[in-house]
Amino acid sequence: MKRILVTGADGFIGSHLTEALVRQGYNVRAFVYYNSFNSWGWLDHCAPEVNGQFEIFAGDIRDPHGIRKAMTGCDVVLHLAALIAIPFSYHSPDTYVDTNIKGSLNVLQAARELGVQRIVHTSTSEVYGTARFVPISEEHPLQGQSPYSATKIAADQMAYSFYSSFGLPVVIVRPFNTYGPRQSARAVIPTIITQIANGKRQIKLGAVSPTRDFSFVQDTVSGFIAVMNSENGLGEAVNFGSNFEISIGNTAELIAEVMNTEIEIITEESRLRPKNSEVERLWADNSKADRLFGWKPDYGGLDGFRRGIAETAEWFMNPANLASYKSEIFNL
């Protein structure tokens, strides 16, 4: 059975992916961010039947020696480790260069030296910027409208350069706006749910007119596994999205409906992106993922989105989970 290294395994998507891989019988080494608390992030809260069934490697993606050691003996690398919060990238862009670009370079270089069989590099729909045409295919121009997206574009290009220059077996996957249990409150869906769950009826948000293509985390996870188990797609970028577009405002209304409440949306200035940095429209063309990997979302369309929101809200409504979030403050 393949030994798989998951970087960013302590995060939102990474923890769900680690659990899914363990359940499918894979030998998983989870690369988590070293800290003096010995915290494994969300893996500290993984399902009981998964707990203890994977190996932990605590390190820092910015350290080339540590990542090489973590990768030694692994057949496949699923590289998710990154800084992803857009507002914080306005505040501290240098950290995004170190983590997203240099960190990815460390992964690629180690994989090349160790002869890893397959590397799945995580991109983001933010690299497209505001849609020039919809649905957005992989041929859409790349637009770095935030320091975050600029560093992800650079990391993608680094991954492609290692494929084209050295034949490194890399696939670049671009999830669109993944949501679900465990997501950070810096994202819009947890922001809405946690405010409602804490009794707020005036919900503080930024811009409500932009549209997004939200993908439930289990669909994103199944996409990673489909890519990992395929021989297709080397040197390619591939979208994972629901092929369904909805505005932030309508998303808030749907969440309120699912949570059986009424809300009023309050625009808070501090939550607004700079005008030219806001991505106004995202809507994924996911046909390439189907063609190359046979992947389709189980939570697609409005009905699928409603089901995903209901599952997400149920998780957040658990008092033990809700207590981990500070809904009263704006989380960069």
Tell me how far apart the alpha carbons of residues 261 and 216 are, in angstroms, rounded to a whole number.
Answer: 22
H-helix segments, 236-332: 248-258, 287-293, 301-317, 319-322
CA dist 192 and 117 (Å) reads 41
Q: What pLDDT, on a 0 to 100 scale, did the predictor assign at position 1?
A: 73
- Read off the amino acid at residue 278: E
Provide the 3-class DSSP secondary structure of residue 131.
coil
Q: pLDDT at position 330, please?
A: 85
Domain boundaries, the chain: 3-179+215-240
Could you tell me which residues come within 8 angstroms of residue 103 by beta carbon, excluding any fewer than 6 positions away?
A: 61, 62, 67, 81, 82
In the 8-state DSSP scheme, what is residue 281? B
| Residue 297: per-residue pLDDT | 98
Q: Is the pTM value of this prediction over 0.95? A: yes
| CATH 3.40.50.720, domain 3-179+215-240, yes or no | yes
Q: Give the model's pLDDT for residue 75.
A: 98
pLDDT at 110: 98
Q: What does pLDDT average to in each consecutive run of 10 residues of the chain (332 residues)?
A: 94 98 97 96 95 97 98 98 96 98 98 98 98 98 98 98 98 98 95 96 96 98 98 98 98 98 95 96 98 98 98 97 90 76
